[in-house]
Amino acid sequence: MAESKKTPTKIEETMEGTVLFDIPFPVGDDLSGLKHMGHILIKQPYSIEYLHSYGQDSPFFAGLANRRFVTNREPETGHTYGTPRGHDMYTGKETEWVEITGEGVVHAFTVCHFGSEEFLPECPFVLVQVEFPGVDTLFLARLVGVDPYAASLDWIGMKVQPRYKRLSKFKPTDVYFVPAE
């Protein structure tokens, strides 16, 4: 089913506004009208930068920067995770690092026509859960190279291959997927 962007019928609200330094208030001792006063709405800016450590998952991001897809495996049971995990959820034991090709199939997908504020400029974009052969769990990624306005359940099962960003951002989006050639 083809999707197309509809013509907008409203202008999005923004947080810009007029700086107000005064507001009407009753003159004199009669304060009875204050119960009927409307509310005052002000803007309170808030921003912060965090120092976020990837901790035991750091080798994954280092791998992406070197165009290699490494993930974790429980050494005894062989249970392998599509997304790195320092300890196995069944045995509780520490996992080891293994390398996979990154080639797989689409397990589930969506097309985001809207998104969180940070990602709005990138809409529409395609999210996929990738299923790797021989790997027990999935990996969340972007899929490019498909028409986001032609979403179809037939995309599930599509063979995909990884592509790596040349300039690493040390984020999971350093790898994304395209339909396999």
Partner 1 sequence: MYEAAVRANEDARVNPRRDVQSFVTVVEDFIEGVSIFDEYVPGQIEVLLKPTCTTRGEGIHGFITIKAASTAELSFRERSRTHLQGGKSMRTVYAVSGGVSKFTKARQDKTFPAVVKEAYDYAIADLGLEHPQFWEIVDGTVASYFSDHFARQLMAAIMAQDYLGMCPKPSHRVEGGGATGGICFQEGWKAIASGYMDVCLCYGFETMSHVQTWKGNEFIALASDVSFDYPVGGFYSGYYAMMVTRHMKEFGTTVEQMAHVSVKNHMNAYYNPYAQKRQKLTIQDVRNAPMVAWPLTRLDICVMSDGAACTILASEEGLAKLEKASGQRVPRVRVAGIGRGTDAMRMADRPHQSYEDFLKYNLLPSEDTAETRAYYKSLWDRGFRYPGVHSFRAGRMGSKEAYKNAGITDPLAQIDFVELHDAYTSSEVQTYEDMGLCRYGEGGPFAASGRAFVPGIDYGLNLSEEPACSVNPSGGLIACGHPVGATGLMQAAFAIWQLQHTIEKHFGTPELQVPNAQRGAIHSHAGTGTYVTVSILEREA
Confirm or reject binding of residue 76 to partner 1 (CB under 8 A).
no
- Minimum CB distance to partner 1 smaller for 66 or for 116: 116
CB count in 10 Å sphere of residue 16: 6
- Minimum CB distance to partner 1 smaller for 75 or for 105: 105
Mask of contacts with partner 1, 124-163, x by CB under 8 A? -x-xxx------xxxxxxx--------x-x--x-------
Which one of residues 70, 103, 110, 164 is an interface residue with partner 1 (CB under 8 A)?
A: 110
Question: Which residue, 126, 127, 129, is CA-closest to 148?
Answer: 126
Confirm or reject binding of residue 42 to partner 1 (CB under 8 A).
no
The pair of three-digit structure tokens given for residue 15, joined into one six-digit string: 């947080």
Which residues does 141 contact at the CB level (< 8 Å), separation at least 6?
A: 127, 128, 130, 172, 173, 175, 176, 177
Which residues does 45 contact at the CB level (< 8 Å), separation at least 6?
A: none
CA 90 → CA 77, 80, 82, 95, 147, distances in Å? Answer: 9, 12, 15, 11, 39
- Minimum CB distance to partner 1 smaller for 27 or for 40: 40
- Phi, psi (deg, nearest 5) at residue 158: -65, 135
Which one of residues 46, 47, 49, 51 is an interface residue with partner 1 (CB under 8 A)?
A: 46
* Footprint of partner 1 (CB under 8 A): 3, 6, 13-15, 38-39, 41, 44, 46, 52, 54, 57, 81-85, 89, 107-120, 122, 125, 127-129, 136-142, 151, 153, 156, 171-173
